[in-house]
Amino acid sequence: MSGETLKERRSSPARDRVLQTAARLFYREGVHTVGIDRIIAEAGVAKATFYHHFPSKDDLVRAYVTEQGALQRAAVAAMPEGSPRERLMAIFAFMTEFGAGPAYRGCPFVNTAAEYPDPAHPVRQAIAEHRRWTRDLYRDLLAGDGHPDAERTADILLLLRDGLVVGFDLDDPATVGTAVQEALSRVLAG
Amino acid sequence: MSGETLKERRSSPARDRVLQTAARLFYREGVHTVGIDRIIAEAGVAKATFYHHFPSKDDLVRAYVTEQGALQRAAVAAMPEGSPRERLMAIFAFMTEFGAGPAYRGCPFVNTAAEYPDPAHPVRQAIAEHRRWTRDLYRDLLAGDGHPDAERTADILLLLRDGLVVGFDLDDPATVGTAVQEALSRVLAG
DNA sequence: AAGAGAGTAGACAGGTCTGTCTGGTATCGT
DNA sequence: ACGATACCAGACAGACCTGTCTACTCTCTT
């Protein structure tokens, strides 16, 4: 057997193009406003091919969310070595840098969740899974840094992270950036 | 001249019913997924009447956002008397209580903004206006409490507020509730 | 008395949405 | 050589969307 026996992981050029195009459009314009026709047109893929790889649009949205999660996990894994404290700070520094950029449109998970009210929906479950991973990442880094209350502080950092992504999307980036720095020092000191 | 000479403020039973129905549906299910037909059906209003009061759906959405802002301002104004510090705490206590309820679906402003990517859109501007009011409210209460850095701390509180509304929508309410309390004490202790 | 304004019911136009289906081509493993 | 798989182009169905329009009723103001 070849390397990739995983069920859903089968890749193909057309599928990748669809997913990449969908990611770009969904992030920039939202999920419900972007139609299948537009995605396949910009991806240069036939409609039958699209429905061959994704049984429905919701499956594509779920794949989009899952893909974004994988990208974030890969980005964290590829981060330069350092102490847990340094890594934690680097994560927030990266979000701040990215959030201040002109292409920033908020957090794909938070934005997509706003369009899927039902918590039981597969898309929402994929989002919930990524949020658990994020919180656990914070907790592990805090614990590795010897923080006395890693569990609760991780919850606070998630709170801060959500405020960050919303603020960078809706408010003045410079103001949000300094607020995040200040909040981090107050939270981690306390 | 009678009391109400303000341009847009003219009220009517049918208009109120439309706005109230739209608020309920938009909040629970999102803006783009709820159509005009459904709103007028549930509001018991003819289509011509709807378009008589609201030139387009976007005008209704803008009215929805503006109305939510007015409700929040009224709620704060109707709060029991107390010191600035007590009032600030009461605001966060109220959000926590409300956010833990079963009907909570996140912040209407944040959720609606996720469906309107263009910052120049009237809907987005109405949202931005409410966010400025919120931040200034925090700043005034902090200043009234004699906080040494009311400006920057207000930004942090807004950060925390956004984390709160997102967290209560997507995560376990109990966990978020304790995290907010803890974060508040750490941030305000400074 | 008369007209303006608010209301109702519902048909209609023109567009967009998701998803299906037809029909044909190319590549690849066996 | 052959069957499976991936891909293309595009028509089509059926639903839903926003917004317009006709035609009529009721009530208030002047």
Q: Which residues of B touch A (CB under 8 A)?
A: 28-30, 32-33, 105-106, 110-111, 113-115, 117, 127-128, 131, 152, 155-156, 158-164, 166-167, 169-171, 175-176, 178-180, 182-183, 185-187, 189-190
Query: What is the model's pLDDT at position B3?
Result: 35
Nucleotides of C under 7 A from a protein CB: 6-11, 16-23
For the CA of B134 and the C1' of D19, the distance in angstroms is 36
Confirm whether A177 is domain-assigned: yes
Residue A83 lies in a domain: yes
Co-location of A129 and A44 in the same domain: no
Q: Which residues of A9-24 are buried (b: 16+ CB within 10 A; e: fewer)?
A: eeeeebbebbbebbbe
Instruction: For residues B7-33, give the mean pLDDT.
Output: 89
Q: Which residue of B has its CA nearest to A105?
A: B117
| Helices B57-77 and B13-29, axial angle in degrees (round to 10) | 90
pLDDT for the residue A76: 97
Residues A83 and A51 grouped into a single domain: no
Q: Is residue A69 part of a domain?
A: no
**Per-residue confidence band for A4, with pLDDT thresholds at 50, 70 and 90:** very low
> Is A156 close to B179, i.e. CB distance below 8 A?
yes
The Cα A57–Cα A8 span in angstroms is 16
Query: Is the model's pLDDT at B183 over the cut of 70?
Result: yes
Structure confidence by residue, pLDDT tens digits, A50-99: 999 999 999 999 999 999 999 999 999 999 999 999 999 999 999 999 99
Chain B residue closest to A162 (CA)?
B163
Instruction: Decide if pLDDT at B8 tops 70.
Output: no
Q: Which CATH number goes with the domain that contains A110? A: 1.10.357.10
- Both A115 and A183 in a single domain? yes
Q: What does each C-alpha distance from A99 to A88, A96, B22, B177 come to in angstroms?
A: 17, 5, 32, 26
Tokens of A103: 């292409």
Residues B52 and B93 in one domain: no
d(CA B91, CA B46): 39
Do B135 and B184 fall into the same domain?
Answer: yes
* pLDDT value for B11: 84
Report the pLDDT value the prediction gives residue B190, as an integer from 0 to 100. Answer: 62
Does the residue A74 lie in any domain?
A: no
Residue position matching structure tokens 């949000």: A176
| Same-domain check for residues B27 and B111 | no
Q: Do B182 and A105 touch (CB under 8 A)?
A: no
Could you say which of A32, A182, A183 has the minimum Cβ distance to residue B32?
A32
Pair (B181, B99) in one structural domain: yes
CA B53, C1' D25: Å apart? Answer: 19
Three-class SS of chain B: CCCCCCCCCCCCHHHHHHHHHHHHHHHHHCCCCCCHHHHHHHHCCCHHHHHHHCCCHHHHHHHHHHHHHHHHHHHHHCCCCCCHHHHHHHHHHHHHHHHCCCCCCCCHHHHHHHCCCCCCCHHHHHHHHHHHHHHHHHHHHHHHCCCCCHHHHHHHHHHHHHHHHHHHHHCCHHHHHHHHHHHHHHHHHC
d(CA B187, CA A157): 12
Residue type at A38 in one-letter notation:
R
Amino acid at A181: Q
The residue that minimises its CA distance to C1' of C8 is B46
Residues A33 and A92 in one domain: no
Q: Is residue B126 part of a domain?
A: yes
**DSSP 8-state code for residue A81:** P
From first CA to last CA, the distance across chain A in angstroms is 54
**B176 neighbourhood in chain A, CB within 8 Å:** 155, 159
Cβ neighbours of residue A136 closer than 8 Å, sequence gap 6 or more: A154
The parent domain of residue A31 ranges over: 1-57
Long-range contacts formed by B121-130: CB under 8 A, 24+ apart: B121/B58, B122/B58, B122/B62, B123/B58, B123/B61, B123/B62, B123/B65, B126/B62, B126/B65, B126/B66, B126/B69, B127/A170, B127/B65, B128/A170, B128/A171, B129/B69, B130/B65, B130/B68, B130/B69, B130/B72
The pTM is what? 0.94
Contact between A139 and A146 under an 8 Å Cβ cutoff? The reply is no
Same domain, B158 and B95: yes
Q: Which nucleotide is nearest to A46 (CA to C1')?
A: D8
Does residue A70 fall inside a structural domain?
A: no
Which of A109, A155, A164, A168 should one mutate to test binding to chain B, selecting the residue with the greatest count of B CBs within 10 A? A155
CATH number for B31: 1.10.10.60
CB contact (8 A) between residue B110 and residue A182: no
Cβ pair A155:B166 closer than 8 A: no
In a domain, A64, yes or no: no
Q: Is residue B68 situated within a structural domain?
A: no
CA torsion sign for A107, A110, A111, A116 is positive
CB A90 within 8 A of CB A77: no
Q: Which residues contact A120 (CB under 8 A, 6 or more apart)?
A: none
The mean pLDDT of chain A is: 94
Q: Say if residue B6's pLDDT is above 70.
A: no
* CB pair distance less than 8 Å for B152 and A179: yes
Q: Which of A176, A152, A156 is nearest to A164 (CA)?
A: A176
Q: What are phi and psi of A30, to 5 degrees?
A: 100, 165
> Structural domain tally of chain B?
2
Q: Is there contact between B61 and strand C, defined as CB under 7 Å from any strand atom?
A: no
Indicate whether A104 and A146 sit together in one domain.
yes
- A5-19, A85-99, A152-166, B73-87, range with the lowest pLDDT: A5-19
Residues B46 and B87 in one domain: no
- Spacing of A122 CA from D22 C1' in Å: 46
Q: For residue A98, what are the contacts with CB-CB under 8 A and spacing of at least 6?
A: A104
Q: Are residues A94 and A144 in the same domain?
A: yes
Distance of CA B13 to the CA centre of its chain: 23
